[in-house]
Homo-oligomer: A and B are copies of this chain.
Amino acid sequence: MKKRVVIVGGGFAGLNAARVLGNKVDIEVTLIDRKNYHLFQPLLYQVAMAALGEGDIAAPLRNMLANYQNITVFKGIVEQIDMKRKTVTTDFGDIEYDYLILACGVQHHYFGHNEWEEFAPGLKTLAQAKEIRRRVMEAYECAERTKDPVERKKLLTFVIVGGGPTGVELAGSIGEMSRYTLSKFYRNIDPKLTRIFIVEAAPRILGSFDPELASKATRSLEKLGVQVWASSMVTDVDADGVQIGNERIEAATVLWAAGVTAITIGKKMGLDTDRIGRIVVDKDLSIAPHPEIFVGGDLAYFVPENGIPLPGLAPVALQQGRAIGRNILLDSKQKPRKAFRYRDKGQMATIGKNKAIVEFGKIKFDGIFAWFTWLLVHIYFLTSFRHRVFVLLQWGWSYFTFSYGARLIVNREWRFYPNAKEPAKSTTTTDKS
């Protein structure tokens, strides 16, 4: 009798679990995601910065899994999970499972100030990336139009909250764009005057990296006009800027690259979770009372021998997804499950053209070689998308021409979305110019 596996979430963990289970006898997989696409998160900031198009780093899940006849993909929302009846309740009906894989990731949290989200979008989805792109480009358009120098200064000020890789990459891109790309396009403003800030609560940015590399990254950022404010806790965010204790920066555009929180699913199910809601998993990535339930990716709180919990990185999610798939196969062969062991793939961040830092165990390096390493690694991992050749071409183009992709502002001209799946939302707009 076929084992029914339900996977919640089509990110790195969910997708790779599905691939391991694909076309395996006696296994039937149902993958549910609220989006219809898998997203190559590490390059999302490039979509936000108009260096890449959405099609370059995302592909519909059903295309990616089309050749696995035993996998069914649904675009839908999981509303409830009944662990006793082993049933997942979705917005399109109930689905029973023998194995459940939770891989629905984390989202940005605003230190308990969700009202800040309105003024400081995060960067987790394509929609958010397009929104960030729209805001950044709109700011330059408004600056070109306004005659008020103070207003213009505010419009040409960008604050990135959070000094992790994403924050650094966003700040670096804006710095590069403003210093090199945009200059010749405007008549009334000098984009080189753009002020860019990284506001980081910790004493330094890139805390997960070697201090020396981090300070090199900081120098590279400074050369692009980015000012790093370390040991700076944001105390308020509004439509006109950010408050940092007694200090204040007036900025039309604030981007959020700070804390994340696991969606409340773990608590809802009454499972052990850590401080930010990640579900505590055993060595085999299942959860204590329910060996048939696995958790992978950012949503999983996994502590290896060394006692340091694994970070929310793509390679971790990818490896966990595969490990979960393999453990389910081991079960069906009545063999003992294997404990998950993370093979460290190192970490890297790119600041700008020819500028990146790479850390792999003891090996640490930066500069142009690091940048090419970053390039190759990411191109390699894009292989799941049919567009990787386009990505290479576009990067090549940008590299030599220093021009970016189409910086289009596609405003929502739509009042109604009759067959949209989201709950009704109201949009309010305020004029900034």
In-complex Cβ contact of A146 among B35, B92, B427 (8 A)? B92
A35 CB → nearest B CB, Å: 7
A53 vs B131: C-alpha distance when bound (angstroms): 17
| Inter-chain contact B408/A55, CB cutoff 8 Å | yes
Copies of this chain, tallied across the complex: 2
In-complex Cβ contact of A131 among B63, B417, B433 (8 A)? B417
| Inter-chain contact A59/B406, CB cutoff 8 Å | yes
In-complex Cβ contact of A37 among B35, B184, B408 (8 A)? B408
Sort chain A's interface into a size bin. 35 or more
| Inter-chain contact A411/B418, CB cutoff 8 Å | no
A399 at the interface (CB under 8 A from B): no
| Inter-chain contact B429/A423, CB cutoff 8 Å | yes
A344 at the interface (CB under 8 A from B): no
Write out the residue numbers on chain B whose beta carbons fall within 8 Å of the beta carbon of A58.
406, 408
Q: Mark A272-294, 1 if CB is under 8 A from B, else 0.
A: 00000000000000000000000
Q: Mark A413-433, 1 if CB is under 8 A from B, else 0.
A: 111111111111111111111
A179 at the interface (CB under 8 A from B): no
| Inter-chain contact B35/A118, CB cutoff 8 Å | no
A367 at the interface (CB under 8 A from B): no
Write out the residue numbers on chain B whose beta carbons fall within 8 Å of the beta carbon of A353.
none
Task: Tell me the nearest residue of chain B to A144, going by C-beta.
Answer: B74
A424 vs B387: C-alpha distance when bound (angstroms): 36
| Inter-chain contact B131/A414, CB cutoff 8 Å | yes
List A residues at the B interface (Cβ < 8 Å): 35-37, 53-55, 58-60, 62-63, 66, 72-76, 91-93, 117-119, 121, 125-128, 130-131, 134-135, 137-139, 141-142, 144-147, 184-188, 239, 252-253, 386-387, 389-390, 393-394, 397, 403, 405-433
6 contacts between A and B (CB under 8 A): A36-B409, A75-B141, A141-B421, A253-B419, A414-B425, A422-B429
